[in-house]
Structure formats: structure tokens, C-alpha cells
Amino acid sequence: MQTLEKYPKEYRYDVAMLRTAVTWALMSKCNRKKVGAVIASPDYRILAHGINGAPSGFENDVCEENGKTLDHVIHAEMNAIIYAAKRGIAIDGCSIYLTLSPCKKCSASILQSGIKRVCYMEDYRDSGIDFLKEHGVEVVKMTTFHVFEPFKTESLEKVFDLFRKE
């Protein structure tokens, strides 16, 4: 098995955090897109995580209707930010790791929360990445190749397929 030791520390941790976000994404009950988010401190400690889905108390298996996401569904990055806020966890200066780039509304919330770095895998059609860059947030895109290729197995092809769906 290959290791990532030959890569810089930041890259290795980015890969680990994105893999964790993918693991959380698999927990989403949404069918159209399964999205995961992980918020980590500057020393790479996981502070919060989130998935796209219905608010607490809703039937979590109802995320879309006729191919459209329902209005009450909360995006993964917002779920992670809300989790941190509810528990008094400071995320100012932290990084957020996403399986899908944030939408424009979530990008504004990321900026407002004080998150300084966004690392993501796939582009969302209504992405707020340009907004984040314009406002000084560091943005890093890593593909599924970067995240999984060193440890690629046949079973990971199923994970890749989740992010190829539109």
C-alpha cells in the first residue's frame, strides 16, 4: 500500500480531512447529491462535521422532490457551522473541507463565520468560490484523484460514482 509520507504535511492533512468529509457524505439520506463537510482547527483537529439533509425532527429521508432539493434541506457546510455555533465551538481561523464547493449563500456564511480556508473536491453549479476568493478566503480544489488515488481500490469506485452523478 502506498503512503502519503512523501507529500507535505498540509497536503496529507487535506487528504485525510476530505476523506473524512466523504465518509460523512455517505451518511446523507439525500439521493441527488450526498455532501459532507468537516471543520478543522489550524492544527487539524476536527471541530464539527455536517451532511446535507433535513433539519432535526424532520423525516431525514425526504430531501428532494421531482429532482429538486426541497427548501428545508440544510447544506452540509451550514450544518457544520450551525453545529459549532450551538455548542459554542469557535471556528474563526479554521478550515472547512467539503465534498462539493459551497453555494453562494453558504459562501457568505463561511466568510461571516471567520473560516479562513476552504478545501473542496467537486464544483457545484451555483458555486460561491469566486466570492470567497475575492474576500480573502484561501480556496483549494482537490479532485477525487488527489484524495483517493494513492489508496485506490475497486470498492472506492462506488464512492467516485457518488460524486459523478448530476
Q: Which residues contact 66 (CB under 8 A, 6 or more apart)?
A: none
CB 86 within 8 Å of CB 105: no
Residue 77 appears among annotated catalytic residues: yes
DSSP E strands, 29-152: 36-40, 46-51, 64-65, 68-69, 95-100, 117-122, 138-141
Under DSSP, the state recorded for 150 is G
Spot the catalytic one: 77, 138, 157, 166.
77
DSSP E strands, 52-135: 64-65, 68-69, 95-100, 117-122
Catalogue the active-site residues. 77
